[in-house]
Structures are given as C-alpha cells and as structure tokens.
Amino acid sequence: MQRFFVSLILASTASAAPLPPVTPFLEHHCTECHDGDVKKGGLDLTALSFKPEDRQNFERWVKVYDRVSKGEMPPAKKERPEAGALQSFQAALKAPLRDHELAQQAKNGRTVLRRLNRTEYENTVHDLLGISVPLKHILPEDTPLHGFDTVAEGLRFSQLQIEKYLEAADAALDAAIVLSKRPVGINQRYSYKNELGIRKNLDTPPGTLSDKTNPKSGHRVMFRENDKEVIMFTTGDYLVGLKQCRLPGPGNYRIKISGNAFQSEGEPLTLMIYSNNYKQKRLLSYCELPADKPREFEFTTRLDGTEHIVINCDRVGRDKKGQNIYNVGAAEFQGTGLAMQWIEVEGPLSAEWPPASLKKALGDVPLTELGDKQKKFRDGKQLGYELAPTDVKQAIASGLNSFATRAFRRSLEQDEAAPYIALANQSVDAGGTFEEAMRVGLRAILTSPAFLLLEEHPGRLSDRALATRLAYFFTSSMPDDELMKVADAGKLSQPAVLKAQTERLLKGPKAATFVTNFVGQWLELRNIDATTPDTKLYPEYDMLLKLGMVTETEAFFNELLTHNLPVSNLIHSDFAMVNNRLAEHYELPGIAGEQFRRVSLPKDSVRGGVLTQASVLKVTANGTVTSPVIRGAWVMKHLLGQQPPPPPGNVAGIEPDTRGSTTIREQLAKHRDNESCASCHRQIDPPGFALESFDVIGGFRENYRSNEKGANVKRKLRGQNIWQYKEGLPVDASGELEDGRKFQGITEFKKLLLDQQDQVMRALAGNLVTYGTGAGIQFADRDAIEAIAKQAKADGSGLRSLVHAVVQSPLFLSK
C-alpha cells in the first residue's frame, strides 16, 4: 500500500494535475491486477498520472471510467463495487475529464475548420452555376473518420487536391458558359427492325423465325413483321445496342420504351437500360415488363453525348429444361424472350437558350446573337452568341461580387472580392476578352478557402453559419435563397424558426440527399460492392438485387423519418420496404412491380428492422461465408454505438471453410476457449450468432451452402432453374448474451435487443451529431447526447423528433 501511495505522489508532480479522489476505489478494486508487478492489459494504475492535456493520458482515463461504468471491471469473478462507491467513483473521475474538454471546446470549438467533401463540392457548384455535369470523380477520395466523410479531421488539403480543384473548376465553367448555337435536338422513335446489326440477321420471309447468330456474341433474334416488333433472346450479359440513335450532345434526355415479356408463361421480365461509351457501362434505369401485353415506361437521365443506349434483360436465354438458346436455336427455343416495340429518345431538354447557367456564372450581361453569316467557332462548335458588356471592367466587378457573395454563403467584407476582380482585370489588360477574364476570376473563387471551407468561429454559431451547417446537414449543398434570407434577418437561431426551416428542408426535393449520404455511411451501405458473392454458391445475386438491397434500407429510413416512427423500428418492425425483386428474395408473395412500397410482414416473418435487411447482411459478409464476429461487431458499433475492441495481435484469424465440413461456430469455439479472447467474444458473438440464419446476400437459410461435390439442391427463380449447389451443415442461430439471457434465433434475439432501445437512440443521436457537425463525439459531449435522446423519447421516440432534437441541441448550434 505504501508503494501505491508513493507512486501516486511521484506521478502527481507539478507537471500533472491533481489526481481526482478515486484512489480508495482503485486500491480496493483495481490495483491487484493493474499495478507495476502484474500490469494486466499493459495498465499500471499505480504509475498513471493525471494529465488530461496529454491526449493519450486522457483517453486512458476515459477507458478506465468506461470499463468500470459498464461493469466490465472489476471482472465478474471479483467483488463487485457497492452502488454508492461506484457512483462516487464515476462522479469524481467524470467531472475533471469533462471540464477539461469543455474548456478546450470553449477555446477552439468542437469542430476544426473543415472543407467541403467531394459530394458537397459537386452539389454546391451545381447549385451555384445551374449545371449537372459530374465533378466529384475528378477529386481525390475523402478520408472518413468516425464513420463519415463530413468529419473535419479527415478532410485535409494536399497539393493534389488543389490541382484537382482547378481541374474541376474548369470543367464546371466549361459546362456553365455556353455560347454555342442551340443544338439540334432529337425527338425520335426507333425500332429494332431498323438496327443494322439485327437487320442482317432478319433475312427470312415475314412472319417466320430467324435462326441467325452473331458469331461473336451468340445473340439470337426472332422477327414477326406483322406484329411490328423484334423478339430478342440474349445469352449471358450481352447488351443489345441502339446505334441508330446518335446523341447530338450532352444534356438531359427523356427516354421512353415499349416492350413486354415473350413466352414467359405469365411471368414478368425486368428490362435494364444502360449507357455505354465502350469504356464503361452505366445503369440508367430499369422496369418490369409484363407478359404478352406491352408496357410503356419513361424516365429522364443525363447523358454526356458520347454514349450509346443499350438494353439487357435478366433471366433470359435458357428454357425450362435449362437448355441454352445458343444450342437450341431461335426457331425451336421455347424459353423467355424480350419483345421490343420501340425506344423513343428526346433531348437535350432545355427550356431556354442560352442556358440559365450562363447568367449564373457571368451575371446579367447583354448578348449579341450572331447571324448565320457571322460564322465564329470555338472547339469545333459554331458560336451563336457574343457577350457585349457596355463597360467590361464594371461588368467584371459586378459579376464577381455577386458570384462571390453566393459562393461564400454570406455577405462579403469590404473589398473582399477585390483580389479576384484584380486577377480578371489583369487578363483584360493583357488583351483577354470579357469571358476569358471572368473565367480567371471565377476559377479563383471556386478554389479559394472562403469557398472550400465552412466558416465557423468558437462559441455559438452566427445565423449565417447556422444556415450553412443546416443546409449541408440535409442537402449536402449550400443554403438556398429562403434559408439565407431568414439567416440574414437574424431569425434562424430562434427555436420556432429553426424548427420550421428544418421541416421545410426535410420535406424539400433534396431531402433524399440526407437519407442517401447519412444512411450510406452510418450503416456502411457504400461498401455494398466491397465483395462479390460466389456465383456458384449464390447464382441468384445480380445487379437488380444489389440495387434493391440499398434502396430498401434507404426507403426504410425515409419511412421512419417521414412518418416520425419510433427509432425502435431499427431493431424490429412489422413492415418492410420492398419491390418485386427483393420480395422474391425474401419469399414474400404477391408483390409485383419495380417500385418500392411499404408491405406488412407476416407475424412469423424473420424480417423487420435493419438487422435482417439484405444490404446490412451483405456488407457484413464476404462473398462465400458469414462471420458472427464481423456481424456482431457491426451490431455493437453501428446500432449500439459501442466500439468493439480490436483482436489481440498474437491470435490468428479464422480461415473460412468453403467446403462446409465445419461450421463457423465450431471454428470460433477455439477463440472462445482462449482467455484473452473470451471476454470480448462474449460481447461480440451473440448478435452474430443470431444473424447466422442469413447467408452472404441476406437470404434466409436453415443449412449452409457448400462447394463440395455431391447431391445438389435445385433452386428456381422466375420459373427457371438456376445453379444447383450442395446443401451443407445445419445452421445454429442460438446464443447467450453477456448477462446470461439466452435466445433461439433472430426473432428471440430482437426481442432481447428491444430492451436496449434507449442505447440505440443514444447511438443514433451521436451519429447524427457527428455527421451534421463534422466532429466525433467527445467525452464532454455525452451529457448533451443523453439530453438529445431524452428529448426525443419525451416526444414519442420518433426518428423525426430525434432529428429535430439534434438540430436544436447546443452541439449543433455551436462550433
């Protein structure tokens, strides 16, 4: 004991703050294992000074506080602290840790200066200039911290980023400053009867079947002239092009198709429409075509002018016997095909010309329209207009002042735009045109710190800074005119006004941006392509299923947000958001059409909540096998807000058994028998075991799938046989929580997890604050997070109520 106190005295020298009055508690409950002799876990409490200004020392004391508060320490076999002693310890240690961080926040703020991430940059430039050209692919990837790419500490500057910002600014200005003649658009209906590649195969008399083959693709077509349509049978992922349609230039296009399934015995068929520039293909849209009766489907999309339109269908090219059309021939083939009546393309769509982006970029500058005889060209395109300002330098000053005010998201300080105006004037003095000079100034503004950085000062945010934070929280873009008007009037910080503006943004056309960007990072949906399922084990996985996985989770979150449904629905809900493809995957009958909608689940359904959604189940698995450890850690981190401890460095990982001779539970038993692993696995494994009833693509299973040779299991999809795999060992989805409560399967586990719905509320509140403020949750923020959760609970525990509580909290209203 004497050694203990001597160590504390030596450690608490002038360079360290006084140790909080926790010595008796530590001596009684902790130092037996955590002293200089035993030093279990590498922790010697007898030598640990109290230096909160040292981040590593601060975090070590926070870890001591947390492990004791959660009951993890002292270990279960040791004497448990009395309630009064535990509360005294918590209070004594919490106060100095919290006060230290609060003092730092008062001085510097919670959030360090942060720049726009790639998505925010693209959206902001789009809104500034009224353009839609892709930009974020030009910029380097952002580094997420605390799970989000909005966190300031991860958004650094580099020489490469500066170069890429210049490149992106040039691309944006090229798209905005358009002086060419109005492009001659197209508005035409095309038939595959006239497609040259198909026409060569249709050399048989009208009304008969063609059995010609494209030797490179194995593509078969059948033509019935009196029906005025082309019946297509495709093999594999072959894309049927529409080369007769040549796009006149970049812009938005309206595409309309008419088609139906053929020889499908009443089953619908999914048509996918892509763009293809021979470097990459891009899915534009998809729709379900009914059997035998044509359906017209329409959508609008942006095309860059160099792309071709191509189509493809799922589950065609094989008949019921599994025979490939390549071997049978079109004349004898009885499997499903695609009947295409026509494709209609209209665009580029533009209500005015020159486009509105020209005025947004250059200001209200007079234009002179060039006649047909006044032929002037730029980049191979004939100009239709010339800029004709009366006073060039006055027009430059006016245009750059106006643009900088909008770009900087606030009123300008005196002469703040002067450097940009001076750059533009230098261009004029050197013989440059008004347009060239404006490009110089605009380029400088779009790469300036005032544009790229969110300006916030320590303490409570100004109304304009609050408007910016609110806008980027919900729209990932700059504040709109109404929000800035309210902020300029100094009214936004009023609680009622702030609530009204929050509601307006949540109901606005850009609210989907919040759902996509927040949910995609919070639940790791952006990792949906990180692994590719084994095609032999999971042949039913395809692009449409993958798209449906992500869309379901986003639609589910949006449903909770729109209708202010309780956050407990994240654990379990009596409904799901599905379309036909996902309903088929979940074995929910009677769902037709590609549109997602709310569907009530049967009482005995294993679905409901986010844990059983295919997106979550896929991003927590590799392409072959599942791991309870990975899934359990995901539940702890993302749903409960508890960071799972890292695995010991001296313990080997588990190699997946693709043959199916052992289950993952049997392989994990060795880890759980290891004393250094057991304590962590008792927390991590149970949620993972509960989710073992779901395979790597989120399908429900009672047995694992195996690559071993042997008797196969036949599976069907859309009435067609697909790959036959071997059924492996049975799944055991039972488990026991750390507190001793047991469960049999996912349904019982979710009932137990509902006891922790307050923790789920706190965890979600923390994630919303992190995403919205650009800073991770600190020790000093915990009380504020608790207050947010309590406020939302008092308002009915709805998700929308939680979002409002976040926006009204001191954490959101302050830097």
At 660 the pLDDT is 56
Note the pLDDT tens digit of each residue in 380-412: 677 888 898 999 999 999 999 999 999 999 999
Residue 190 reports pLDDT greater than 70: yes
- DSSP 8-class letter at 4: H
Which of 622, 617, 587 lies closest to 601, judged by CA? 587
CB atoms inside a 10 Å sphere around CB 474: 25
**Residue 385 dihedral angles phi and psi, to the nearest 5°:** -145, 155
Note the pLDDT tens digit of each residue in 567-576: 999 999 999 9
232 shares a domain with 151:
no
319 shares a domain with 214:
yes
What mean pLDDT comes out for the span 239-246?
87
In a domain, 467, yes or no: no
Task: Say which residue, 55 or 712, is predicted with more confidence.
Answer: 55
| Range with the largest mean pLDDT of 370-374, 590-594, 674-678 | 590-594
Task: Say which residue, 800 or 81, is predicted with more confidence.
Answer: 800
What mean pLDDT comes out for the span 20-28?
85
Note the pLDDT tens digit of each residue in 746-759: 999 999 999 999 99
- DSSP 8-class letter at 753: H
| Integer Cα distance of 255 and 186 in angstroms | 11
Q: How confident is the model at residue 130 (pLDDT cuts 50, 70, 90)?
A: very high
The residue to which tokens 């990932």 are assigned: 476
In a domain, 134, yes or no: yes
Q: Which CATH number characterizes residue 198's domain?
A: 2.60.120.260
% of the chain at pLDDT higher than 70:
86
Per-position DSSP letters for 531-580, written without gaps between them: S---TTT-TT--HHHHHHHHHHHHHHHHHHHHHT-BGGGGT--SEEEE-H
Note the pLDDT tens digit of each residue in 458-515: 999 999 999 999 999 999 999 999 999 999 999 999 999 999 999 999 999 999 999 9
**Residue 760 dihedral angles phi and psi, to the nearest 5°:** -65, -40
Note the pLDDT tens digit of each residue in 57-77: 999 999 999 888 888 888 877
In a domain, 706, yes or no: yes
Residue 198 reports pLDDT greater than 70: no
122 shares a domain with 103:
no
% of the chain at pLDDT higher than 90:
61
CA torsion 768-773-775-776 (nearest 10°) is: -20
142 shares a domain with 212:
no
At 2 the pLDDT is 36
Residue 718 reports pLDDT greater than 60: no
What mean pLDDT comes out for the span 333-339?
83
At 631 the pLDDT is 96
| Integer Cα distance of 342 and 346 in angstroms | 13
Residue 209 reports pLDDT greater than 60: no
> How many helical (H) and strand (E) elements, i.e. helices and strands, does the chain have?
28, 24
At 193 the pLDDT is 81
Q: 757-773 vs 463-475: helix axis angle to the nearest 10?
A: 120
610 shares a domain with 574:
yes
Where a domain ends, among 74, 108, 142?
A: 108
In a domain, 785, yes or no: no
698 shares a domain with 641:
yes
| CB-based contact 552:586 (threshold 8 Å) | no
**Residue 309 dihedral angles phi and psi, to the nearest 5°:** -90, 130
At 44 the pLDDT is 85
In a domain, 104, yes or no: yes
Residue 433 reports pLDDT greater than 80: yes
Residue 215 reports pLDDT greater than 60: no
730 shares a domain with 679:
yes
Note the pLDDT tens digit of each residue in 250-285: 889 999 999 998 888 888 888 999 999 888 889 999
Measured in residues, the chain has a length of 815
In a domain, 808, yes or no: no
682 shares a domain with 538:
yes
Note the pLDDT tens digit of each residue in 351-369: 789 999 999 999 999 998 8
Which 3 state secondary structure label does DSSP give 175?
helix
Q: How confident is the model at residue 338 (pLDDT cuts 50, 70, 90)?
A: confident
In a domain, 764, yes or no: no
139 shares a domain with 91:
no
At 513 the pLDDT is 96
Task: Say which residue, 112 or 657, is predicted with more confidence.
Answer: 112
| Least trusted range by pLDDT, from 242-246, 468-472, 610-614 | 242-246
Where a domain ends, among 430, 454, 478?
A: 454
Note the pLDDT tens digit of each residue in 447-456: 999 999 998 9
210 shares a domain with 166:
no
| Integer Cα distance of 597 and 579 in angstroms | 7
At 205 the pLDDT is 43
At 80 the pLDDT is 83
Q: How confident is the model at residue 3 (pLDDT cuts 50, 70, 90)?
A: very low
Residue 138 reports pLDDT greater than 60: yes
In a domain, 35, yes or no: yes
Residue 424 reports pLDDT greater than 50: yes
> Residue 615 is part of which domain span?
525-757
| Integer Cα distance of 652 and 258 in angstroms | 57
249 shares a domain with 150:
no
Predicted TM-score (pTM) of the model is 0.91
650 shares a domain with 533:
yes
At 152 the pLDDT is 94
Number of domains in the chain: 4
Q: How confident is the model at residue 724 (pLDDT cuts 50, 70, 90)?
A: low
Where a domain ends, among 84, 108, 132?
A: 108
| Integer Cα distance of 237 and 244 in angstroms | 21
